[in-house]
Structure 1
Amino acid sequence: MLNRMHERLPRMLADLEDLIRCESPSGDPAAVAHSADLLAALGSRVLGVAPERLPHGALRWRFGDGPARVLILGHHDTVWPIGSLETHPFRHEGGVLRGPGCFDMKAGLVQALHAVAELPDRSGVTILVTGDEELGSPGSRGLIEAEAAGCAAALVLEASADGGALKTERKGVSLYRVRAEGRAAHAGLEPEKGINASVELAHQILAVRALADDQAGTTVVPTRMISGTTTNTVPAAGDFAVDVRIRTLDEQQRVDAAMHRLEPALPGARLIIEGGPNRPPLEKHEALYEQAVAAARRLGLPPPGQAAVGGASDGNFTAGVGTPTLDGLGAVGGGAHADDEHVIVAELPGRTALLATLTADLLTPLPRPARAAYPGW
């Protein structure tokens, strides 16, 4: 398998260059549609079959007539605006490939297509590529969850962690808006007749911050705040946003319950709490990670490391429906969303071979254990 991927490398690099040169910022529907067209044509050539075209720039390849066992998941949208190729041109020099979206995650898409192309039997594999991940997957979340439900595993082609480590854990995300309503009054003449929304928000910011738990890895961070109208008026209303990152579903539920139990500190003030869990946590599935390690060893590759990361991906959604999920199977490199975004070319054959081997292993049902001797059997 590894030798075949080395043979495929020139074609993979050409495919990757085509994808990178097709700019696909999430917020530009025309650009995402054009990228989907290109990816559909590229995938049709590599896999020998055209994908289904779905809303929000999504593409789906399903193989076999039976139930899906392995979901291979990626996205073709990027954070880079149209025109980024002028300032961050495609380059392949010294074994390093650069260009907007190369690491996050167009290289992963090329890996997915070429890995599945090498499978002797693709029955039970679904490749799903979405077009709105960088926006939080507002249009494709339901599709992702439906495709993942019941699968033996979801393999996410997001870029690797440092050094090629697989992402075995991702924090879940909850988002809130805390709004305080008070009463306006002249700040100089009769401030006592007002109910100061800014002061109320100050109390609530401290209460919210206290919900964090460093030991559990739970962060609860008040972020953007707006309050008041003029400098000489007691603020009648204001609000602040809250970003929550958690490792376990229990912690997500604890913080959510506490947020919705917040009470006003000032007499006469009113609180409105909006929001809640946005993405569930991706909790580690030890057996799936060990299966990837075993596959790497059989290929003669160094066993991949593992990492817990704070950022979210569509893997949070697949894990949230109970599907064992392994993330970060994509390219080795760095600089996601940054000026130094890059891919290490020499790592592409091994990563693609690992994906193909792991997928084939997951398609093979585990043998039933032999029954132990027991009187009456």
Structure 2
Amino acid sequence: MMRFKGTDALMTKANWFDTKTILDGIRRWVEIETPTEAPEQVNRLVSLVADQHRDLPVTLERIAGVDGCGDHLLARSTWGQEQPGILVLSHLDTVHPLGFIERLPFKVEGDSAFGPGIYDMKGGAYIAHHAFRALCADGNRSPLGITHMFTSDEEIGSPTSRALIEKEGRKAKYVLVTEPARDGGKIVTGRKGVGRFEVFIKGVPAHAGSRPEDGRSAVRELANVIMALEAMNDLARGVTVNVGVVRGGTRPNVTPEEAYGEIDLRVPSFADADEFVGKILALRSKTEGVTVRVTGGLNRPPYEKGNAGASLYEHAKTLAGEIGFELIDTYTGGGSDGNFTAPYTGTLDGLGVDGKGAHTHYEQLYVSSLEPRARLLYRLYQTLR
């Protein structure tokens, strides 16, 4: 577990990076539960976040939620918006169901603070806001304008925010994503692309005992499809295919007429995406009288470490060294909203808090990471140009 040493050299005024102050702010956000499927709860937090920007030099744009999701919020600095600037991406929704806070209440034990969504990613969203507040308190303006986008649907694939993220990402010079740090504080400079598919199979029903010859089993054909999908896994290339949901049939004595499956695809490159999306969509039935239909595609493009992203990482690494900790980068199979911006804008991900247990009953952040990670964001705001 990485531990950090702080420095007071970066702040000559009041210590804006007091750990207790930051943790108290995170607690307020955590104690408003925000599962994606509860838009009224997400909007409660959006309202609080908006209120916490009222005394800052920003303009606020609140975009009403659609399709059962909560609102999105953009806080734009009043300076620097006439040229490409810094886009900060944070999501306020979490995976834990409403009421989970009774099982996982906010608490601090040693260096760990617990709570639903505290690590993924309310801690990171808050420290980015706190760093911006510190920047504004200095009275100095960053070289670039800053836009902080808070979204409501990342945990379900960002269906209502993707277009907005891509639009703002194309306008930005840099994108900073406050997803949690990995493996003891590592920054993320690459992610696999994510594909999601559904397979629908139609067979012929029959009495399984008296007329089995009349039936064509959709479930048996689903088994054929699953075997074909499993054969696509290529760990050496970093390609994974997983059939995570299956359904089919009605009764044990009826040849199943219908079957259904949901598929997850992870690919490291655009070339792999083209190849394997094509293979999955091309799946066909091996049984006469049975049809197989596959829908879906890539819902997050690969986040490949390009030159702009590599340069941004090296800059952040230097800043972290000045603050007092080593910033190491990593690559992960999980997707984020950074996947949407990395193909065309220098993107740095994993800038949130360190911790562990995302999406679990023991989710936690490491308190010792709050000050240095907030300082890093502050210094990025100050120095990117």
Q: TM-score, normalised by structure 1?
A: 0.89
Distance 1:26 1:292 in 2: 31
The equivalent residue for 1:293 is 317
1:75 counterpart (83, 91, 108): 91
- The 1:100–1:222 alpha-carbon spacing in structure 2 relative to 1, beyond 3 Å, is closer
- The 1:29–1:316 alpha-carbon spacing in structure 2 relative to 1, beyond 3 Å, is same
Matched-pair contact (CA < 8 Å) for 1:40–1:50: no
Per-residue deviation, 1:23: 2.0
Report 1:125-144 matches (<5 A): 125-144=146-165
Q: Residues 57-115 of structure 1, C-alpha deviation per residue, up to 9 Å, x if partnerless?
A: 21111122313321111012222333333322222343432222221111112211122
Per-residue deviation, 1:231: 1.7
The equivalent residue for 1:309 is 332
Letter of the 1:203 counterpart:
N
Q: Secondary structure at the match of 1:149?
A: helix
**By percentage of residues, which structure has more helix?**
1
Letter of the 1:289 counterpart:
Y
Distance 1:193 1:82 in 2: 48
Asked whether 1:91 is paired with 2:115, we answer no
The equivalent residue for 2:236 is 215
Per-residue deviation, 1:287: 2.1
Asked whether 1:17 is paired with 2:27, we answer yes
Distance 1:7 1:35 in 2: 23
- The 1:350–1:225 alpha-carbon spacing in structure 2 relative to 1, beyond 3 Å, is same
Per-residue deviation, 1:207: 1.4
Distance 1:282 1:210 in 2: 25
Letter of the 1:29 counterpart:
P
Matched-pair contact (CA < 8 Å) for 1:15–1:42: no
The equivalent residue for 1:121 is 141
Q: Residues 268-290 of structure 1, C-alpha deviation per residue, up to 9 Å, x if partnerless?
A: 32111111111112222322221
Report 1:247-286 matches (<5 A): 247-284=268-305, 285-286=309-310
Per-residue deviation, 1:237: 2.1
Distance 2:27 2:243 in 1: 41
Per-residue deviation, 1:147: 0.7
Residues paired across the two proteins, number = 360
Q: Secondary structure at the match of 2:168?
A: helix
Identical-pair percentage: 37
The equivalent residue for 1:148 is 169
Per-residue deviation, 1:329: 0.4
How big is the alpha-carbon RMSD for the aligned residues of Structure 1 and Structure 2?
2.0
- The 1:207–1:43 alpha-carbon spacing in structure 2 relative to 1, beyond 3 Å, is same
The equivalent residue for 2:377 is 355
Distance 1:195 1:140 in 2: 42
Per-residue deviation, 1:170: 1.6
Matched-pair contact (CA < 8 Å) for 1:24–1:77: yes
Matched-pair contact (CA < 8 Å) for 2:229–2:241: yes
Distance 2:7 2:62 in 1: 32
**Higher mean C-alpha displacement, 243-252 vs 4-13:** 4-13
Distance 1:2 1:143 in 2: 37
**Higher mean C-alpha displacement, 1-10 vs 27-36:** 1-10
Distance 1:101 1:271 in 2: 39
Q: Secondary structure at the match of 1:330?
A: coil
- Unaligned runs of 5+ residues in structure 2 are 1-5, 66-70
Q: TM-score, normalised by structure 2?
A: 0.87
Letter of the 2:337 counterpart:
D
Letter of the 2:165 counterpart:
I
The equivalent residue for 2:195 is 174
Matched-pair contact (CA < 8 Å) for 1:6–1:349: no
**Greater gyration radius:** 1
Q: Secondary structure at the match of 2:342?
A: helix
Per-residue deviation, 1:6: 4.8
Letter of the 2:27 counterpart:
E
Matched-pair contact (CA < 8 Å) for 1:225–1:239: yes
Matched-pair contact (CA < 8 Å) for 1:296–1:354: yes
1:27 counterpart (1, 18, 37): 37
Q: Residues 149-205 of structure 1, C-alpha deviation per residue, up to 9 Å, x if partnerless?
A: 142221100111011011122221111112222222222223222222222222221
Matched-pair contact (CA < 8 Å) for 2:58–2:76: no
Q: Secondary structure at the match of 2:125?
A: helix
2:64 counterpart (55, 76, 91): 55
Distance 1:304 1:288 in 2: 12
- Unaligned runs of 5+ residues in structure 1 are 365-377
**Higher mean C-alpha displacement, 116-125 vs 197-206:** 116-125
Letter of the 1:60 counterpart:
L
Matched-pair contact (CA < 8 Å) for 1:217–1:246: yes
- The 1:53–1:196 alpha-carbon spacing in structure 2 relative to 1, beyond 3 Å, is same
Per-residue deviation, 1:38: 0.9
